[in-house]
Amino acid sequence: MMKKLSFCLALVIAILFSVTAFAQDRESQSLTLGYGFAVFNQPGKIGRVEGGYYDFIQLSYIYEKPFTEKLAFLIEPFAAYVNRPDSGFEGGVILSGKYYFREKERNGFYLTVGAGGAYTSINFEEQGTHGLFILQGGVGYKWKEFFIEDRIRHYSNAGTADPNRSVNSNIIVVGMDF
């Protein structure tokens, strides 16, 4: 268990450094901290998956490359400490698109949608594997260099193992550009 956790942590750190090297033009970089919990897994039971309550703390780095004044591409490696149903680790990378409802330098709302992959050390009853695929969408508000975003994340093994029931979570994220 510790070897897997150490390997995943080293992988996330390597990805962070490689993305930073890729971002030499410093278009936009951000650090985020978020709290996530289960949603849409069992009818009427927010916060729960089949194995019990599911919640986590997540740290991520975001590199943002604008395409136009309103559209941007994001690379977001993340690492999370899972508190429940068992303590553990999750890490992965999400590639996203972002749409600003205002000019990029101004305050205002935006939407994100993306996909990626993750590893989790948690033995979810809904999933037959530790390697997961991610679909994620969110809405946020940016004010100067600060932002807050609410995201819905869907974990699935994409039919690579049995069972393949989704693990869905809501993540409230705060962040800062630098």
In angstroms, the Cα distances linking 113 to 17, 71, 78, 84, 116 are 24, 12, 16, 26, 11
Token digits for 108?
Answer: 């205002």
The number of angstroms, rounded, from the C-alpha of 19 to the middle of its chain's C-alpha atoms is: 16
CA angle 6, 75, 142 (to 5 degrees): 115
Mind listing the pLDDT tens digit for each residue in 9-40? 565 555 555 544 444 445 899 999 999 998 98
Report the C-alpha gap between 59 and 80 in whole angstroms. Answer: 6
Over residues 120-178, the pLDDT tens digits come to: 998 877 777 888 999 999 999 999 999 999 999 999 888 888 887 788 899 999 999 98
Domains of the chain: 2-177 (2.40.160.20)
